[in-house]
Amino acid sequence: MIRSMTGYGKAEAQLPGGKLTVEIRSLNAKSADISLKTTLLPKDKDLLVRRKIAERLQRGTIDVFLSWEASEGAAARTIPTQLIRSYLDQLKEVTSVQSEAVEAALLGAILRFPDVTDMKKADIITEENWPLVEAAFDGAIEALDRYRITEGEALEKDVRSRVELILSLYDEVEQLEPERIATVRERLLKNLEELQQKPDPSRFEQELIFYLEKYDINEEKVRLRQHCRYFLETLSGEPFPGKKLGFIIQEMGREINTTGSKANHAGIQQLVVRMKDELEKIREQSMNIL
């Protein structure tokens, strides 16, 4: 079972003062790049959450969002009125204009001060309710993992079909090999006729064999099929095969390119182009495989 690196998970924790929502989104990346886009999480829980996500999700560009929805009346009880009054009194001392409009403007500015807005957030996640918050993180991670598995099934089906298509195209290459040899023979004979040369038949056959040996693609054939089998085995046999598949794809591409350089046949060249196209699509898909 393979997993995509793209995913989304969401879970909620019902806390005494309201509802905390945990959302996690991931995209493909070479390593685990975890970003906690929130001010709600206490600093002492930061490392714990990062470790939990990295152990379960392995790789990806992973963004974590926390949002808080206070229950009715809870927000009013947590407003730091003494702090706001202190700021207001200090600011009124430094302004020469005293009016209700100025006081309202000052109050609006104070309510945007970081220590005023964060004051309400400081008591949202505590040691007492941390088990509930941690369970929400676990739930969001689990939901994201299920999403990845579903996406992974579609990825696996797609890349398997493309690898099998490459194998079938190489079968067509094999069928064209006799025609390729005949084409090379005819071209050499035609060149000799134009030069008005009559070679010794046995010597000609010998030279033809030497010439064709340089363009023999049997080794490429064998290696490409081995790489394709290894790709499919890795796909189904390893939990996180993404990086290894990338290396195998490089080897597959090397054999296909060599086949093209040795082809000397229009039909085989066309098949090679199709194989390259399929391999490039496999490469793109494999970049999103965990």
User: What pLDDT shows up at residue 119?
Assistant: 46
pLDDT tens-digit readout, 224-273: 999 999 999 999 888 899 999 999 999 999 999 999 988 878 889 999 99
pLDDT tens-digit readout, 126-167: 899 999 999 999 999 999 999 999 999 999 999 999 999 999
User: What pLDDT shows up at residue 159?
Assistant: 96
Average pLDDT (37-44) is: 89
Q: Please list, in sequence order, all residues whose beta carbon lies within 8 angstroms of the beta carbon of residue 236, skipping any fewer than 6 positions away.
A: 156
What residue spans define the domains of the chain? 7-76+124-149, 79-117, 152-286
Average pLDDT (61-77) is: 79
User: What pLDDT shows up at residue 196?
Assistant: 67
Average pLDDT (50-78) is: 83
User: What pLDDT shows up at residue 183?
Assistant: 76
Q: Cβ-count burial of 84 within 10 angstroms (0-12 exposed, 13-18 middle, 19+ buried)? A: middle
Q: What tokens appear for 167 in the block?
A: 């194998």
User: What pLDDT shows up at residue 97?
Assistant: 63
Rounded to whole angstroms, what are the CA distances from 283 to 133, 204, 220, 253? 39, 44, 20, 10
CATH among 2.60.40, 3.30.230, 3.40.50, 1.10.3470 for 7-76+124-149? 3.30.230
- Kindly report the three-state secondary structure assignment for every residue of 140-173: HHHHHHHHHHHHHHHHHHHHHHHHHHHHHHHHHH
- pLDDT tops 60 at residue 285: yes
